[in-house]
Amino acid sequence: MTTTNTKMEEKRGEENHSSNSATFRSKVEKMQGIIHEYSAGGWDKCWEQRVTPWDLGQPTPVVLEILEKKTLPKGRVLIPGCGAGHDVIAIANPERYVVGLDLSENALKRAREKSSSSPNAKYFEFIEADFFTWHPTEKFDLIFDYTFFCAFEPRMRASWGKRMHELLKPDGELITLMWPTDDRDGGPPYKVSVADYDEVLHPWGFKATSITDNELAHVGLRRGCEKLGRWKRYL
């Protein structure tokens, strides 16, 4: 490829990135308007109106990579805020029973429609419930938080940490996809940092085993401001 062609490709890439960024920001702003207007029912309204900028339409790429590397714990898995259930379906197998939890009826309707013919359907279920008040009959070996933490106002984060302690087995693992870590005001999504997670998890016996940049962030504008955290519960 000539130097001229290379520069043209780079320019097109920059233009596409700029366009995607603007589209994403527009969807986020519309989402925020719906949530602020409908309060507790805002998330369900977003799914009803299909204003879901967080939904990839496919499993989270970094989850697929972890599955390929065979480093996910076996046993019972919880995915709070599971939405359309892409990660639930991807993770579920004879070694892992996955519970997808969401308070949105419309999200779970879509998840059930999508998964009705899945060959691994007997290894997962979807439950409509509030993460903060739901009481399962058994605890979990693994919890995957896909930017779930950033959806809550900062005043609720301590309660999130307590719930992770209550829902995860001793020696269980919590995986957090942390975003947005760049500077911003307001939300959701609300700005987060590794320190924010550590502040609410450490008192409950959690320690980070690894914190890495997520190089597989699904859109360019999230690369560099999205991190993958893996935490063990030792108490």
51-60 pLDDT, tens digit each: 998 898 999 9
Which residue carries 């991807």 as its tokens? 90
5 pLDDT higher than 60: no
Predicted local confidence at residue 17, as pLDDT: 44
224 pLDDT higher than 80: no
Q: Tell me the average pLDDT across 107-125.
A: 96
Predicted local confidence at residue 219, as pLDDT: 54
Predicted local confidence at residue 78, as pLDDT: 98
pLDDT in tens, 20-46: 667 778 888 999 999 989 877 999 999
Which among 66, 59, 50 is positioned nearest to 82, based on CA atoms?
A: 59
pLDDT in tens, 118-163: 999 999 999 999 999 999 999 999 999 998 999 999 999 999 999 9
Cα–Cα dist 62/144, whole Å: 12
DSSP character for 93? B
The larger pLDDT score, comparing residue 150 to residue 14, is at 150
Predicted local confidence at residue 220, as pLDDT: 52
* CATH architecture, domain defined by 51-233: 3-Layer(aba) Sandwich (3.40)
- φ/ψ bin of 172: left (φ > 0), alpha (ψ from -120 to 50), beta (otherwise): beta
Predicted local confidence at residue 91, as pLDDT: 98
Predicted local confidence at residue 185, as pLDDT: 79
Output the average pLDDT for the chain.
Answer: 89
Domain ranges of the chain: 51-233
Poorest-pLDDT segment among 68-77, 79-88, 181-190, 196-205: 181-190
pLDDT in tens, 57-103: 999 999 999 999 999 999 999 999 999 999 999 999 999 999 999 99
CA atoms within 13 A on the CB side of 93: 8
Which residues make Cβ contacts (< 8 Å) with residue 41, sequence separation at least 6? none
pLDDT band at 13, cuts 50/70/90? Answer: very low
CB 133 within 8 A of CB 162: no
Q: Which two tokens stand for residue 225?
A: 């401001």
Predicted local confidence at residue 218, as pLDDT: 58
40 by DSSP, 3-state: which? helix
Q: What is the pTM of this model?
A: 0.88
Strand blocks (E) in 180-226: 206-213
Q: Report the percentage of the chain scoring pLDDT > 70.
A: 88
Predicted local confidence at residue 181, as pLDDT: 80
Cα–Cα dist 162/176, whole Å: 15
Predicted local confidence at residue 52, as pLDDT: 92
